Amino acid sequence: MPRYEKNPDAIAALSPEEFHVTQESGTERPGTGKLLNNKEPGIYVDIVSGEPLFASSDKYESGCGWPSFTKAIEPAHVAELRDASLGMIRTEVRSTHGDSHLGHVFPDGPPDRGGLRYCINSASLRFVHRDDMQAEGYGDYLNQVEDIT
């Protein structure tokens, strides 16, 4: 099984926005994320640790301005924490091994798909296309990626 951890080289290579989002719990502006409109089959991994987080088959258009997913591909890789910032109570999601801030999870997702909406910053993710998953070490997740194009 691959070992995922916070990678100092990956952190050093982050853009200013990626650093702000993942390391300082920032948020990208809605509607600006590079992966918001991605409809290719594959998986989304933590930009810092590489741990698998979400599958394209669980991505949906929520209209919130950030990529939205109904569930994590590997629940153990997504930690949920109480967030009382901004004068409200929310549930922050962070990668377990990379400790990257990913976004928040809300209970207003599609009821027929579990009812959750993982609202995730593109800046915290790296997309791995289905065609590259085996070569990049994510072959075990191929059965969870449907052709959604």
Catalytic residues: 119
DSSP conformation letters of 55-103: EGGGEE--SSSS-EESS-SSGGGEEEEEE-GGGS-EEEEEETTT--EEE
Tokens of 54: 């979400």
Distances in whole angstroms, Cα of residue 13 to Cα of each of 7, 16, 56, 64? 10, 9, 25, 28
Tokens of 52: 């698998």
User: Quick check: helix, strand or coil at residue 148?
Assistant: coil
Q: Cα angle at 34 between 114 and 67, to 5 degrees?
A: 10
Say how many C-beta atoms besides its own lie within 10 A of residue 6's C-beta: 16
